Amino acid sequence: MKMKERSAFLKRGPLLFLLAAALLTVPVFGDMGPKPQLTVRVENGPEELYYLDLLEEGDPCKYPDMAPGGLKGNYGEELEILDQDLLASFTAAVPEGWHACVAQGDLVWGRIDSRDGCFAFGYMLPITFRILLVTKSGETFLSEPMERQALQCSVTVDWAAGTVGAPPLWWGYATQFLATFLPTLAIEGLLLLLFRLWSRRNVLVFLGVNLLTQGGLTLWMSVETVRGGVNGISMLSSDYFSLFTRIQSLLDSLCYEAEGISPRLLPAELLILLAEAALYTKLFRDCSKRKAALYALAANLASFLLGLYLAEPVWRVVVDTML
């Protein structure tokens, strides 16, 4: 390493150390990752008071007051604000063989009353569900059975037309791509400045390499995450690592997350690191091969770890575009 480069690296050392320390403090929770969420929007809704709930096949909870969700769990001391006559009419309108997830007690978080026509339900959501809407005057809307196509999604009930619709998943894929690819460019671009590698040629190389590698990975992961959501453990899991696979299976059973999530992200990231290191050492100008390789390592580590930290907030952005 040349004297100038050694001096520049030593000056950057404390900053890089702090950056690494901050990135390594990724928060870990016992119940990780985004949970199932379904938002129901009502368009052209009734002008009178009405309640809306999700229906699931099976009998209602035998002890609704003891259910973690249900009316008591969701409303607490506010339970008295509900109109008891309308509530009775609502439960009476539930078809045989089904039960209301919130109104009749279940492991579902949500409220059956809404002033803005937006109803958010979460956690132990059924895959197959129906939507029931009952007004104060006794008018009823009951949808046909539907299936959730993603871990977190939305549907729209048009009260006037008597229809239910959902946005296309391709919009979620596109937003997931932008929401993960652009932060990657920002993180690794900042490191490009810190390593004093910023030049017209190097920036063009940086953009082209990331479009080829990180862009391809992000596009691939979009399909996985939009369908199943993401969390730190599931993103590290791989069929090649039996321990991680067992941990993932255990978390899936405990957290009731969507099945079929097995993204091989860690091996993919290692391949990307090797590919980017090879390309940077060959294509970067005005720097040694060692410095280019060191940048590739630091940039990939930063984007990977910070990506895990931002996984859930980024997912929220995706969900918002699907509502």
- 219-232: per-residue pLDDT in tens? 666 566 565 665 55
- Cβ neighbours of residue 86 closer than 8 Å, sequence gap 6 or more: 49, 50, 51, 134, 135, 136
Among 9-18, 41-50, 167-176, the range with the most confident prediction by mean pLDDT is 41-50
**Mean pLDDT lowest among 16-20, 70-74, 174-178:** 16-20
pTM value surpassing 0.85 = no
Q: Is the pLDDT score of 197 beyond 80?
A: yes
Tell me which amino acid residue 1 is. M
State the pLDDT at residue 14. 43
Measured torsion, CA atoms of residues 216, 217, 219, 223, in degrees rounded to the nearest 10: 140
State the pLDDT at residue 172. 63
- Give bridge partners of residue 53 from the DSSP assignment: 132
pLDDT digits (tens, 9 = 90+) for 241-277: 344 444 444 444 433 333 333 345 567 678 888 889 9
- Cβ neighbours of residue 262 closer than 8 Å, sequence gap 6 or more: 237, 238, 239, 245, 248
Greater confidence (228 vs 28) lies with 228
Distance CA 181, CA 229 (A): 17
Greater confidence (259 vs 315) lies with 315
Could you tell me the pLDDT band of residue 10, with boundaries at 50, 70 and 90?
very low
Distance CA 217, CA 134 (A): 46
State the pLDDT at residue 140. 97
Tell me which amino acid residue 236 is. L
Average confidence (pLDDT) over 105-133: 91
Helix (H) / strand (E) element for 249: namely helix 242-255
State the pLDDT at residue 314. 67
State the pLDDT at residue 88. 96
Residue with tokens 């001391």: 77
State the pLDDT at residue 224. 61
Average confidence (pLDDT) over 88-102: 96
Average confidence (pLDDT) over 280-307: 90
Of the chain, the percentage scoring pLDDT greater than 90 comes to 42
Average confidence (pLDDT) over 177-204: 87
